[in-house]
A and B are shown apart, each in its own frame.
Chain A
Amino acid sequence: MGDSLPSERTIATHYGVSHFTVRKALDVLERDGIVIRMQGKGTYVKSPQLTVDLQSMGSFSSIARGRNSSVNSRILYSGIRKAKFKYSHIFGISEDSDVYESIKLKISNDVALAVEYTAVPLKYIPDVAEYDYSVYSLYDVYSKNNIDVALEDQRLEIVTIYNPIASLLDKEEGDTIFLLTSWAYDRVGNLIEYTRLYDNDDRLIFRAHGSDALERSEL
């Protein structure tokens, strides 16, 4: 991890293959996230990426529970604001109702994985601002309020980022990364949480399982 590979020319000579073949092979390794090529600097072995399964609720807590148990959160901001247009539009609540907002940096082994923006209307979880989120997860707090997240609707896209998100994730302004937006609903269909997770795509990849059985049950 972090080691550099010999030059393309050296590899070609060593294996007795053409420069073109070496380049093709490195193309494949780069796409699969095994090496990273730096313009003018060479090719390096990448640290292994963590896999987030879109099927698991509260995707990040699931990584934390898995074999990579070193993911933790640093709270950068938390507070209560008025819904105004933005959240009244998202949650279908009045513009002057209160919404809890937090921003967390997800870290693993001193490496920044993601910046997470969360919004929760106080209407559903009145005491949401009163917990210590270095100890509890939001899902713990929902349970305490007898609310279960029954459905997480997620949207994964690739976006261009700017500071301060870029610098928090050790990226440059103008780089592209994953953005995972998620809408969490309780059993009766109320939207209780809206999250935007900006993921460092060098550190994280996603997995999705699709089946026609799910589609049938939805209809």
Chain B
Amino acid sequence: MSKYTNLINEDIREKLEEYIFKNNLSTGDAIPSELQLCKILNCNRFELRKAIAKMVGEDILFTVHGVGTFLAPPKFEENSSSYVGFTSFWQSKGHRSSSKILKFVKTEANLKTANMLGIPLGSAVYELKRLRLIDDVLVSIETSFLEESSCPGLLTCNLDGTTSLYQVLKEKYEMTVVNQQQTIRTAKLRQEEADLLCLKEGAPAFYITAVGLTENGTCIERSISISRADRFAIRYQAKQ
């Protein structure tokens, strides 16, 4: 058992978290220098660095080389148990959300899209790729596929800015997404994704594939989203 005692020993981290809390430090505030912290927390530099590295690794702190270590902003938490669309969810939480269209075309359904939407391979589908922002932070790249025959003329709708796709589907096509099923994986950002999100290639991200279902269980949307891991988390309430 002694082999694993370092698994449980998070003493310095606990003390540092206590220091941050009791001194009311918030987003963007600097924590004291290593030297000062060693004195305050009564530890050595090696232990302190390990504790800070772990907190940086969990995006609680961030370090600017040669400047200092600061409190990171909290991650945007998407509630996947009650999630019904990007725009309405974030607005209901008091955030500003918007989108920028990267690609909006009519194309042919590939095998996966056809299977998910329950339509023949090669059917006409709309492909809508958008950059998603929350409080002006670039958070996700989302690509949606919708069958053309279920929402003809969608290409003429303005889906840029703060317009919600789900709102348009509801108002113009009388289709309401009431259920979303997500499969959540990890991924590393590829160069073009990193460029869009202003991050480095290889940065960690969520890779979420989802389907949007209507009341009667018809799948009307298939989506693939890439969300940066340093600013995004998923929240889920399971009830008995």
Contact B238 A205 (CB under 8 A): no
- Which residues B187-240 have CB closer than 8 A to chain A? 187, 190, 204-207, 229, 232-240
Q: A151-B239, A154-B237, A177-B186 are in contact. Are A208 and B54 (CB under 8 A)?
A: no
Q: Cβ of B75: which chain A residues have Cβ within 8 Å of it?
A: 157
Contact B185 A33 (CB under 8 A): yes
Q: Cβ of A154: which chain B residues have Cβ within 8 Å of it?
A: 235-238
Q: Which listed residue, A85, A164, A205, A206, touches B14 by the CB 8 Å rule?
A: A85
Interface status of B18 (Cβ within 8 A of chain A): yes
Nearest CB in chain B: distance from A74 CB, A: 10
Interface status of B81 (Cβ within 8 A of chain A): yes
Contact B205 A158 (CB under 8 A): yes
- Grouping DSSP codes into helix (H, G, I), strand (E, B) and loop, the A interface class, with mixed when no group exceeds half, is strand
Q: Cβ of B54: which chain A residues have Cβ within 8 Å of it?
A: 162
Interface status of B59 (Cβ within 8 A of chain A): yes
Q: Cβ of B15: which chain A residues have Cβ within 8 Å of it?
A: 85
Nearest CB in chain A: distance from B75 CB, A: 6
Closest A residue to B204 by beta carbon equals A176
Q: Cβ of A206: which chain B residues have Cβ within 8 Å of it?
A: 183-184, 234
Contact A201 B80 (CB under 8 A): no
Q: Cβ of B206: which chain A residues have Cβ within 8 Å of it?
A: 158
Contact A208 B81 (CB under 8 A): yes
Interface size grouping (class) on chain B: 35 or more
Interface status of B165 (Cβ within 8 A of chain A): no
Contact B187 A155 (CB under 8 A): no
Nearest CB in chain B: distance from A70 CB, A: 22
Contact B84 A211 (CB under 8 A): yes
Nearest CB in chain B: distance from A169 CB, A: 12
Q: Which listed residue, A57, A151, A156, A207, touches B183 by the CB 8 Å rule?
A: A207
Q: A162-B53, A208-B184 are in contact. Are A152 and B82 (CB under 8 A)?
A: no
Interface status of A190 (Cβ within 8 A of chain B): no
Interface status of B163 (Cβ within 8 A of chain A): no
Interface status of B178 (Cβ within 8 A of chain A): yes
Contact B21 A85 (CB under 8 A): yes
Contact B240 A57 (CB under 8 A): yes
Q: A77-B5, A150-B239 are in contact. Are A210 and B180 (CB under 8 A)?
A: yes
Most buried by A among B1, B15, B82, B84: B82
Contact B186 A178 (CB under 8 A): yes
Interface status of B6 (Cβ within 8 A of chain A): yes
Q: Cβ of B84: which chain A residues have Cβ within 8 Å of it?
A: 210-212, 215
Q: Cβ of B82: which chain A residues have Cβ within 8 Å of it?
A: 210-212, 214-215, 218
Q: Cβ of B187: which chain A residues have Cβ within 8 Å of it?
A: 31
Contact B59 A103 (CB under 8 A): no
Nearest CB in chain A: distance from B97 CB, A: 16
- Which residues B70-129 have CB closer than 8 A to chain A? 75, 77, 79-84
Closest A residue to B54 by beta carbon equals A162
Please measure, in the bound complex, the distance between the C-alpha atom of A102 and the C-alpha atom of B185, giving whole angstroms. 27
Contact A164 B180 (CB under 8 A): no
Contact A153 B237 (CB under 8 A): yes
Q: Cβ of B136: which chain A residues have Cβ within 8 Å of it?
A: none
Q: Cβ of B63: which chain A residues have Cβ within 8 Å of it?
A: none
Given contacts A156-B233, A158-B186, A214-B81, 7 further A-B contacts (CB under 8 A): A54-B236, A207-B181, A208-B83, A208-B182, A210-B179, A211-B84, A212-B179
Leading 7 A-B pairs by shortest Cβ distance: A160-B57, A215-B82, A158-B229, A210-B83, A208-B80, A85-B18, A176-B204
